[in-house]
Amino acid sequence: MTSLQSIISDHLAGAFRALELDPGYGRANLSNRPDLCEYQCNGALAAAKAAKRNPMEIAEAVAEKLAADPLFEKAEAVKPGFINLNISPGALAAHLNELARETAFGVDKPGVGKTAVIDYGGANVAKPLHVGHLRSAIIGESIKRLYAFMGYEAIGDVHLGDWGLQMGLVIEAVKDEQPDLPYFDPAYQGDYPAEPPFGIADLERIYPAASARAKEDAAFSERAHLATLKLQQGNPGYRALFNHILAVSRADLKKNYDGLNVHFELWKGESDVQELIPGMLADFDEQGIIEESEGARVIYVAKADDAKEIPPCLVQKSDGAYLYATTDLATIVEREALYHPAEIFYITDKRQSMHFEQVFRAARRAGLVPESCVLSHLGYGTMNGKDGKPFKTRDGGVLRLEYLLKEVQEAVYERMADTELPEEEKRQTAGIIGLAALKYGDLSNQATKDYVFDLERFTSFEGNTGPYLLYTAVRIRSILRKCREAGLSLGPIQPAAGPGEKALQLQLTRGGQTIEEAFREKAPHKLCQYLYELAGLFSAFYRDNHILKETDKDRQQGWISLLEEAEKTLVSFCDLLGFGIPERM
């Protein structure tokens, strides 16, 4: 469905055309001064410049045409040549009533029939999930939901880091603790045990200890490297042990991601594509795109017009080992073969931007995906502590994600001291609100920027926070419930009688457009901004209008529909952000 803004633009274009000016100048923008007007057009300025005419004259002529158009309540030219527009309340209500019958806010779905792979999460197996991976999970989940909303078959892949030295470290440490396990017996012929010889608590203890030991104990470090190599060469005992590590780790990661309401369609990892690498490199060789550089093998990816230096993409070290980029290239090969995606989208820390630039360019040179396949990377900033440095625990360690979420949920629970809910529901509700506090605290910032984790602010029920939005949603629901209990019914939305009502209606016409923008720019913060504005407009409207007491039936029924629309919008937007709304709070 055409957005109100586009409809207004069409009318503007018509007026420009009627004045024998390029209709392209007739574009409406949202006003950045809502106190002066609702929409604004700056086209007269550009048109005047091109035609060497007086901008005010053109603006006045356009405004005069539009003043006679029933779509507008006001069309006026203001110096030096802006056209300020207000929509007529009748046209606005009619548009909103039409929109209310649409699904998905009238958004056209460009992704129908296309597949998008969203690569996010990126946890490393055997290592506990820490806050460094928090943003990838939170932002990635929201972006994946935006893709799905746009009609794509959106495939989220957690793409685990499961092929590095950490595997060798764990294997050697297990060997030291339990040397008699069959995995370490080269002569062993039978089936390996189905049960893992360790649980997640053991892994959590083993990995940090082994990692620390390797830093001091050169012989141990050497063994771990060797074990990693043996595993990668397919040693059956190590492979079996590796599968145990993977299974135990995955189960724990899944629990953590579930707690964040983050869900992956695929639980693949770096290990899954190792077998594709030799063939891929042979193909690169055949194409002649691999070159030797100091004993290593690289693909040159720099271009003449690069503003900064893009180093070659390293695909094999001099000792034969493959690298992060090699695995990512092979993963593109696999994704193309399995899903033929229209887009592959990666979400990681922005420090990996260069890596992805190199990988994408190498993939293009090698023709791993068709030209039409979009490869993009969103690099997010760091979550900092109040000291402005990357977030750490009080004792300076890396914080596990699980504890961070619990801490936020606990803080919300404490703020709910006066809430009259049964204890169990209160705990549950604090859980939902806490998740929203954490996610909204993150997503309301532009993803590429750093932000400060501020427990106090994030969990506040006032201001631009997750809890405030949920509180607004719950409030709207409770009003709607009361209306239902009073036997009141819905009716068409009526032309707004006052500015507060009109502002709320206008905001509700802009939901679809906001989702489109958030999707186009991969910017969930735009959803947050919209919601915060919506919540404020609702509160102001509700302060001034008493729905239950209203005596004009048409108005009352129209208001109930208006609130239904607001509720629907809040629910969908919160879902796109990746959190739910509690029943009561």
- Give least dist CB 270 to ligand ARG, A: 8
Please say which residue, 118 or 470, places its beta carbon nearer to ligand ARG.
118
Please say which residue, 9 or 136, places its beta carbon nearer to ligand ARG.
136
Please say which residue, 122 or 434, places its beta carbon nearer to ligand ARG.
122
- Give least dist CB 402 to ligand ARG, A: 17
Instruction: Please calculate the CA angle 217-220-224 and round it to the nearest 5 degrees.
Output: 135
Per rule CB under 6 A, is residue 268 in the interface with ligand ARG? no
| Residues contacting ligand ARG: total by CB under 6 A | 9
Nearest to 12 by CA among 65, 53, 60: 65
Per rule CB under 6 A, is residue 272 in the interface with ligand ARG? no
49 backbone dihedrals φ, ψ, rounded to 5°: -60, -45
Per rule CB under 6 A, is residue 346 in the interface with ligand ARG? yes
Please say which residue, 80 or 311, places its beta carbon nearer to ligand ARG.
311
Please say which residue, 82 or 356, places its beta carbon nearer to ligand ARG.
356
Among 11, 145, 159, 555, binds ligand ARG (CB under 6 A): 159
CA 433, CA 300: separation in Å to the nearest integer?
49
Please say which residue, 124 or 514, places its beta carbon nearer to ligand ARG.
124
Residue type, 126: A
Q: How far is CA 2 from the centre of its chain?
A: 25
Q: How far is CA 489 from the centre of its chain?
A: 37
Please say which residue, 316 or 556, places its beta carbon nearer to ligand ARG.
316
CB 570 within 8 A of CB 581: yes
Q: 491: which residues sit within 8 A by CB, 6+ positions away? A: 553, 554, 556, 557, 558, 560, 561
Please say which residue, 331 or 556, places its beta carbon nearer to ligand ARG.
331
- Give least dist CB 259 to ligand ARG, A: 19
CA 336, CA 273: separation in Å to the nearest integer?
12
Contact region with ligand ARG (CB under 6 A), list: 34-42, 119-127, 148-156, 382-390: 119-127
Cis peptide leading into 370, omega within 30 of 0?
no
- Give least dist CB 350 to ligand ARG, A: 12
- Give least dist CB 149 to ligand ARG, A: 23
Nearest to 25 by CA among 39, 38, 41: 41
- Give least dist CB 160 to ligand ARG, A: 7
- Give least dist CB 333 to ligand ARG, A: 13
Per rule CB under 6 A, is residue 357 in the interface with ligand ARG? no
Among 38, 172, 252, 328, binds ligand ARG (CB under 6 A): 328
Residue ranges of E strands in 198-329: 291-293, 296-299, 313-316
Site for ligand ARG in 514-533 (CB under 6 A): none
Instruction: Please calculate the CA angle 428-434-437 and round it to the nearest 5 degrees.
Output: 150
Nearest to 347 by CA among 201, 193, 536, 524: 524
Nearest residue to ligand ARG on Cβ basis: 122
- Give least dist CB 226 to ligand ARG, A: 23
Please say which residue, 26 or 121, places its beta carbon nearer to ligand ARG.
121
Contact region with ligand ARG (CB under 6 A), list: 32-40, 80-88, 118-126, 257-265: 118-126
CA 485, CA 218: separation in Å to the nearest integer?
74
Per rule CB under 6 A, is residue 122 in the interface with ligand ARG? yes
CA 25, CA 47: separation in Å to the nearest integer?
7
Which H helix or E strand runs over 82? strand 82-87
- Give least dist CB 517 to ligand ARG, A: 26
Contact region with ligand ARG (CB under 6 A), list: 116-124, 291-299, 313-321, 514-522: 116-124
Distances (CA, A) of 534 to 35, 142, 435, 513, 538: 16, 19, 21, 14, 6
- Give least dist CB 161 to ligand ARG, A: 3
- Give least dist CB 122 to ligand ARG, A: 3
Please say which residue, 348 or 509, places its beta carbon nearer to ligand ARG.
348
Among 111, 156, 161, 237, binds ligand ARG (CB under 6 A): 161
- Give least dist CB 399 to ligand ARG, A: 16
Please say which residue, 106 or 140, places its beta carbon nearer to ligand ARG.
140
| Bridge pairing between strands 383-384 and 451-452 | parallel
Dihedral angle, C-alpha 35, 37, 40, 44, nearest 10 °: -110
Please say which residue, 86 or 124, places its beta carbon nearer to ligand ARG.
124
CA 470, CA 437: separation in Å to the nearest integer?
9
For residue 376, give the 3-state DSSP assignment: strand
Residue ranges of E strands in 140-248: 153-157
- Give least dist CB 208 to ligand ARG, A: 16
Per rule CB under 6 A, is residue 124 in the interface with ligand ARG? yes
- Give least dist CB 129 to ligand ARG, A: 10
- Give least dist CB 206 to ligand ARG, A: 19
Please say which residue, 139 or 531, places its beta carbon nearer to ligand ARG.
139
Q: How far is CA 366 from the centre of its chain?
A: 30
Among 38, 119, 172, 343, binds ligand ARG (CB under 6 A): 119
Please name every residue paired with 82 in a beta bridge, in sequence order, or none if there are none: 78
Residue ranges of E strands in 210-366: 291-293, 296-299, 313-316, 343-349
Per rule CB under 6 A, is residue 348 in the interface with ligand ARG? yes
CA 85, CA 267: separation in Å to the nearest integer?
51
Is the dihedral angle over the CA atoms 387, 393, 395, 397 positive or is it negative?
Answer: negative
267 backbone dihedrals φ, ψ, rounded to 5°: -115, 55
Per rule CB under 6 A, is residue 156 in the interface with ligand ARG? no
Is the dihedral angle over the CA atoms 255, 259, 260, 264 positive or is it negative?
Answer: positive
Residues 219-258, mask of contacts with ligand ARG (x by CB under 6 A): ----------------------------------------
Distances (CA, A) of 544 to 150, 174, 208, 331, 473: 36, 68, 59, 57, 18
Q: Which residues are near ligand ARG by CB under 6 A?
A: 119, 122, 124, 159, 161, 328, 331, 346, 348
